[in-house]
């Protein structure tokens, strides 16, 4: 077996662990393998005390990972060919003469690796990750060398590289991976992605992507209908992620109010100001404060970050409309021009929904572009039970909505939707004569290239379209309702539980549940700076242990004056109540002695 995550500063332990593991392969204490010494010992001790069947099966599962069952061999109906790939190279595959057979065999081997991975992803007895430090992977694990060479490697080595890449990665579809807003591994979406990469085209014109271009058009229309724009009219495009979608919204707002900026630059406009919540979203890296997509957009587009004005929020993280109005008035008095307000529908940390209707009133009153960032919360529009949280979204001028988050679509899939037709085109087109180009034999209004800031654009639509076909709108609704129920379950489970404190009170609006775990040693400390300092370190320590053990992953971050807390989210359909229970058990197991 390759390296363990044991620190290289402790080579003896690595050796001992390795021997230990091979000697006592199915032994309990084998769990120490893959964890740091101190942690390994702690877990071993814990497990010896708690010899439950559930734990046992989990641990044994760690080792089963080393004996994958092939879908092609375990089922007698499929027998795998015994091709020797050690003397075959990429050059022997198609388009090489007679390369078809080798190509098919090679692809089947890859599929075998991938389907094994899929199977294990859903298997709770496997780890979420097999953590290694950067220097360990860079030094090269046994048989896995990341360096690129002049000479080709055999297909056998390529297959090993594929296996190792998955082995040392993170199973984002595992039912106990709670680290990101995007999680899960939807089988239909996966099939859609495999097809997309096989089709290998881009979204620039109908000419080279006829089906995908139409699917995008129909799907965007459906999304606009769900938002509530009359007849689904308007425009939109799929972009490479929520940050870019939000950037589009700022660009389009600028173009609407100051179209001359396109030609003359920002010098042609007065001092423009933008508004967004101090809590605003896309904080994917949860321990990194102030990473905001609207802030990035203000820097990129030439507004300047100091012209982004942050709005106060209530204790639940929702923008206070009165604060917006006061700041709009203040900006105008200073001679600045308020041009854009972002209302967040589902903030990244708290899952807060800003009161869109009240914000829309202010935007209408002062003629400001209203954008709703529903990257995370947009999916709730599909739930009859929860869509009221976005009431007023139909009054927005533009909406960001990432199906790759709450709707479980594989990465990447993010849409920017714009209520007024023609603005995207006007904003990004570089060619006035475009619409009257008589050359092509088909209706070129379907070409999308000129709406985008990209030239070639990745095909993000197919997997989403295929998932929608396969689940129907009601399938997405069920999924969303279920995730929210699981969060309520977690909330009710911990809100009065010893050792827990909620970051904010009340049922979560989205699936975000934010909480501190307070280890026994801290519970009796008086409130004050010492307790704060110690509590600040608890979540990072537990997270580090989780990762080294590979049992589960959940995010944490500080927020304002609040020290590091856990942010739990659910978007993976594979999650059950038992996984929520597992997370809590794991936090307590790892955190009890801190």
Distance CA 338, CA 332 (A): 7
Q: Considering the complex, state which of residue 195 and residue 326 has its C-beta at the smaller distance from a copy of itself.
A: 195
Bridge partners of residue 144, in order along the sequence? 141
- Minimum distance from CB of 113 to a copy of itself (Å)? 8
Residues 581 and 557 sit within 8 Å (Cβ to Cβ): no
Helix (H) or strand (E) holding 549: helix 529-549
Q: Considering the complex, state which of residue 261 and residue 513 has its C-beta at the smaller distance from a copy of itself.
A: 261
Q: Considering the complex, state which of residue 327 and residue 451 has its C-beta at the smaller distance from a copy of itself.
A: 451
Q: Considering the complex, state which of residue 44 and residue 411 has its C-beta at the smaller distance from a copy of itself.
A: 411
Q: Considering the complex, state which of residue 441 and residue 505 has its C-beta at the smaller distance from a copy of itself.
A: 441
Residues 550 and 127 sit within 8 Å (Cβ to Cβ): yes
Q: Considering the complex, state which of residue 157 and residue 357 has its C-beta at the smaller distance from a copy of itself.
A: 157
Q: Considering the complex, state which of residue 291 and residue 316 has its C-beta at the smaller distance from a copy of itself.
A: 291
Contacts of 7 (CB under 8 A, 6+ apart): 13, 36, 133
**Nearest one of 362, 347, 220, 234 to 280, comparing CA atoms:** 347
**Nearest one of 246, 264, 231, 371 to 300, comparing CA atoms:** 246
Q: Considering the complex, state which of residue 82 and residue 498 has its C-beta at the smaller distance from a copy of itself.
A: 82
**Helical axes 529-549 vs 577-591, angle rounded to 10°:** 120
Write the secondary structure of 318-330 as one string of H (helix), E (strand) and C (coil).
CECHHHHHHHHHH
Distance CA 510, CA 487 (A): 8
Distances (CA, A) of 35 to 18, 40, 543, 551, 553: 12, 5, 13, 11, 15
**Nearest one of 314, 185, 284 to 569, comparing CA atoms:** 284
- Minimum distance from CB of 592 to a copy of itself (Å)? 19
Residues 309 and 274 sit within 8 Å (Cβ to Cβ): yes
- Minimum distance from CB of 364 to a copy of itself (Å)? 26
Q: Considering the complex, state which of residue 100 and residue 314 has its C-beta at the smaller distance from a copy of itself.
A: 100
Burial group, residue 72, by CB count within 10 angstroms (0-12, 13-18, 19+): middle
- Minimum distance from CB of 401 to a copy of itself (Å)? 14
- Minimum distance from CB of 30 to a copy of itself (Å)? 22
Residue listed under structure tokens 């709770």: 124
Distance CA 547, CA 76 (A): 38
């Amino acid at each position: 077996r390759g390296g363990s995550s044991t620190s290289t500063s402790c080579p003896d332990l690595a050796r001992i662990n390795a021997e230990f593991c091979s000697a006592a392969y199915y032994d309990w204490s084998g769990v120490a393998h893959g964890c740091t010494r101190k942690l390994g010992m702690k877990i071993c001790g814990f497990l010896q005390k708690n010899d439950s069947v559930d734990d046992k099966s989990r641990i044994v599962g760690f080792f089963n990972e080393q004996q994958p069952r092939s879908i092609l061999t375990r089922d007698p109906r499929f027998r795998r060919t015994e091709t020797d790939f050690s003397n075959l190279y990429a050059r022997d595959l198609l388009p090489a003469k007679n390369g078809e057979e080798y190509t098919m065999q090679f692809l089947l081997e890859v599929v075998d690796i991938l389907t094994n991975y899929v199977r294990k992803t859903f298997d709770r007895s496997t780890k979420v990750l097999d953590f290694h430090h950067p220097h360990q992977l860079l030094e090269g694990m046994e048989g896995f060398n990341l360096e690129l060479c002049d000479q080709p490697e055999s297909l056998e080595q390529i297959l090993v590289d594929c296996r190792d890449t998955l082995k040392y990665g993170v199973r984002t579809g595992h039912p106990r991976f709670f680290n990101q807003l995007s999680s899960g591994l939807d089988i239909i979406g996966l099939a859609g992605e495999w097809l997309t990469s096989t089709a290998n085209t881009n979204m620039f014109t109908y000419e080279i992507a006829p089906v995908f271009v139409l699917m995008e058009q129909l799907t965007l229309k459906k999304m606009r209908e769900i938002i509530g724009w009359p007849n689904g009219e308007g425009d939109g495009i799929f972009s490479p992620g929520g940050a870019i979608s939000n950037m589009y919204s700022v660009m389009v707002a600028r173009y609407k109010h100051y179209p001359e900026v396109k030609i003359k630059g920002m010098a042609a406009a007065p001092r423009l100001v933008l508004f967004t919540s101090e809590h605003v979203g896309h904080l994917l890296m949860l321990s990194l404060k102030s990473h905001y997509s609207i802030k990035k957009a203000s820097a990129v587009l030439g507004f300047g970050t100091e012209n982004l004005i942050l709005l106060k929020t209530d204790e639940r993280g929702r923008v206070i409309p009165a604060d917006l109005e006061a700041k709009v008035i203040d900006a105008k008095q200073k001679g600045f021009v308020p041009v854009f307000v972002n209302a967040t529908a589902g903030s990244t940390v708290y899952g807060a929904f800003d009161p869109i209707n009240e914000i829309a009133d202010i935007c209408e009153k002062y003629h400001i572009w209203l954008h709703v960032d529903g990257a995370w919360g947009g999916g709730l529009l599909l739930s009859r039970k929860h869509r009221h949280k976005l009431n007023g979204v139909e009054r927005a001028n533009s909406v960001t909505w990432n199906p790759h988050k709450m709707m479980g679509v594989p990465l990447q899939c993010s849409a920017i939707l714009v209520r007024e037709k023609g603005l995207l085109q006007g904003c990004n087109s570089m060619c006035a004569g475009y619409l009257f180009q008589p050359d092509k034999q088909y209706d070129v209004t379907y070409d999308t290239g000129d709406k985008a800031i990209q030239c070639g654009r990745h095909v993000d639509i197919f997997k989403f379209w295929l998932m929608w076909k396969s689940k129907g709108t009601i399938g997405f609704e069920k999924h969303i309702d279920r995730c929210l129920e699981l969060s309520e379950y977690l909330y009710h489970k911990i809100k009065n539980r010893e050792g827990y404190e909620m970051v904010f009170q009340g049922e979560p609006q989205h699936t975000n549940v934010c909480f501190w775990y307070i280890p026994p040693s801290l519970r009796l400390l008086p409130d004050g700076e010492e307790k704060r300092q110690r509590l600040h370190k608890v979540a990072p320590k537990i997270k580090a242990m989780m990762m080294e053990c590979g049992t589960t992953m959940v995010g944490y971050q500080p927020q304002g004056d609040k020290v590091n807390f856990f942010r739990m989210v659910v978007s993976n359909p594979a999650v059950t109540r038992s996984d929520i229970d597992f997370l809590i058990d794991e936090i307590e197991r790892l955190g009890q002695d801190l």
